[in-house]
Amino acid sequence: MARFLLANVAAELLAIMLLTEICLSLQLDKLSFIWGFFLAETDVMYFLDISGCLPHRYKIVIAGNHDLGFDDSEDLNLRGMSYRGRGTPQGYKLLTNSSFDEIGMIGKQLSVVYGIRIYGSSWHPLPGYSFSRERGQPLLDKWNLIPEGIDVLVTHSPPLGHSDNFKGTRWGCSELLNTVEYRVKPLFHVFGH
Q: Judge whether residue 157 has pLDDT over 50.
A: yes
In this prediction, residue 76 carries a pLDDT of 76
3-state secondary structure of 120: strand
Q: Kind and range of the H or E element at 137? A: helix 137-143
Name all domains of the chain by residue range, CATH numbers in brackets: 2-191 (3.60.21.10)
20-43 pLDDT, tens digit per residue, is 333 333 334 444 555 556 667 777
Average pLDDT over residues 114-134: 86
39-98 pLDDT, tens digit per residue, is 677 777 777 777 677 666 666 777 777 777 777 777 777 777 777 777 777 777 776 644
* pTM attached to this predicted model: 0.75
Q: Judge whether residue 18 has pLDDT over 60.
A: no
Give the integer Cα–Cα distance in Å for 52 and 46. 10
Q: Which residue has the higher pLDDT, 113 or 14?
A: 113
CA distances from 44 to 40, 94, 162 (A): 7, 7, 29
Mean residue pLDDT across the chain: 72
